[in-house]
Amino acid sequence: MTNELVQLTACEAVQKLKAGDVSPLELIDAAEARIAATDGAVNAMPTQCFERARERATTLMNSSSDGAQGPGWLAGLPIAIKDLMPVAGVRTTYGSPIFADNIPQKSDVLVDRLERQGAVVIGKTNTPEFGAGANTFNEVFGATRNPWNTDKTCAGSSGGAAVAVATGQAWLAHGSDLGGSLRTPASFCGITGLRPSPGRVPRSSLAMPFSSLAVDGPMGRDTADVALFLDAMAGLESADPLSYPAPALSYTEAVRNPDLPLRIAYSPDLGLCPVDPEVASICADAAQKFVDMGATVVEASPAFTGAQEAFHILRAAQFAADKGGLLDKHRDLVKPDLVWNIEKGRALTSEEIGHAEISRGQLYRRVVRFFEDYDLLICPTAIVPPFDVETRYIEEAGGVKFDNYMDWLTITYALTLTGCPIVSSPAGLTASGLPVGVQLVAPPRREDVALAAATLLEKAVGLTAQLPIDPRPPA
């Protein structure tokens, strides 16, 4: 029975919860057994809180037994929260030895919102230190491994979240994304992840709540699960100054009968970076599947002039403001990549920061004009397939050398600047059996368009049917 429950999608599990065919406690038991069976191989969820989960599940069950309305969108479904977001009473380390013993007394407003919608938090997923970097490892918990091949990385920074979903440890996992931190792990682990528009998903624990570079979003095995999770997340919360009300039509409904985007642009590289030939071929085939459905697909892209420089400046300025104090107090405990980022930010001039903001605004206006002619933009999620877990980051691709740990992520972070909603959807497998994903970019605040396209693509690709998977050692 435990294995049967783990095999359910989140939508199927919620249906059974609402019908009374299964209880939240039974799902918690199934998740705990699955984590015990798989986490030794992948290290996705190092912090678990099953006693807290069972207390909350019992409270939900008791409140429903008196004839009250069932709890929200998730109805008692166990979920995982990334270890960058505070959960009251649960160890929250941010992947940093500075906070190795930190237990927050208050949850982020997003966690409170999800719990009101019937979510039951069962654990915290692993992340690189303060979410910086696209390989999930840190000095507190070590490295998280890719379940498709445990010698490979799951990417980052939402690596633990992606692995937890792919292996069936959790039906849904919360992630976050600044430069690709949600999208790249989704691609590397063969799951679906959504970077929503800024403000779509509220949060309250950021030191800089008006910043729109980083967002939180849903990760699931398929698009319907991601839509369900987004319905539970989205909405106005006064604690988040960027948040706004959820749409009148739910995302669950939007993917039930998805509309085909008829005018699609495909770019193999956004004109920015080299792409591994096998990855490029898989992503081109994914774009062709929309042609087979009846859409028109042409090779086109907005101009991303100045995007790399603007992103590096804005990200460095944010890290300097947010984490500079920690560097002053705990320099010996901060990883070198973060030291570089913070010091780069501190060296910036107001003129440089202002120019980057203007450049970002110009890019946004070009993107808005672009979407007057196209309904969707498709491009690869990552420029390479999953690589060795011991490699910190990709230093060279296609003869191009990268001089920092971020630039192999240009194809995701350039799109961060647009503020557009983006789904990373499975596109296929390499010859060695490693997942590859594509980014489906929709016009601003049109998450429904991106999710509808992902629904159609996943049916054509069929990769989600293989999930959840048992961790696979290298051949």
Structure tokens at 46: 């190092």
Given the residues 64, 157, 176, 197, select the one marked as catalytic: 157
Alpha helices in 223-306 (DSSP H): 223-233, 251-256, 277-293
User: What kind of architecture, by CATH, is found in domain 2-466?
Assistant: Alpha-Beta Complex (3.90)
Position 63 confidence tier, pLDDT thresholds 50, 70, 90: confident
Tokens of 147: 């379940």
* Terminal alpha carbon distance of the chain: 30
pLDDT at 69 over 90: no
φ and ψ of 281, to 5 deg: -65, -45
| 181 carries an active-site annotation | yes
The larger pLDDT score, comparing residue 420 to residue 1, is at 420
Q: Are 170 and 78 in contact (CB under 8 A)?
A: yes
High-pLDDT (> 70) share of the chain, %:
98
Q: For residue range 232-267, what is the model confidence (pLDDT) as tens digits?
A: 999 999 999 999 999 999 999 999 999 999 999 999
For 377-397, how does the pLDDT look when each residue is reduced to its tens digit (9 = 90+)? 999 999 999 999 999 999 999
pLDDT of 215 strictly over 90: yes
**For all residues of the chain together, what is the average pLDDT?**
96
Q: Residue 70: its pLDDT value, please?
A: 61
Contacts with 35 (C-beta within 8 Å, 6 or more apart), sequence order: 45, 48, 123, 169
Tell me what pLDDT residue 71 has. 79
**Token pair for residue 362?**
């110009």
238 is catalytic: no
Enumerate the β-bridge partners of residue 195: 422
Q: Is 157 a known active-site residue? A: yes
Region 131-157 average pLDDT? 97
Total Cβ atoms within 10 A of residue 333 = 15
Q: What is the pLDDT of residue 68?
A: 45
For 28, phi and psi rounded to 5 degrees?
-60, -45
pLDDT digits (tens, 9 = 90+) for 270-305: 999 999 999 999 999 999 999 999 999 999 999 999
Q: Which of 82, 124, 323, 335 is catalytic?
A: 82
Which residue do the tokens 């051949």 mark? 475
Cα–Cα distance, 56 to 21 (Å, whole number): 19
How sure is the predictor about 65, in pLDDT bands with cuts at 50, 70 and 90? low
Whether the pLDDT of residue 31 is over 70: the answer is: yes
DSSP 443: S
The single residue of 64, 96, 158, 181 carrying the catalytic annotation is 181
Q: Is 51 helix (H, G, I), strand (E, B) or coil?
A: helix
pLDDT at residue 198 tops 70: yes
Rounded distance between C-alpha atoms, residue 441 and residue 375, angstroms: 9
Cβ atoms of 179 and 406 closer than 8 Å? yes
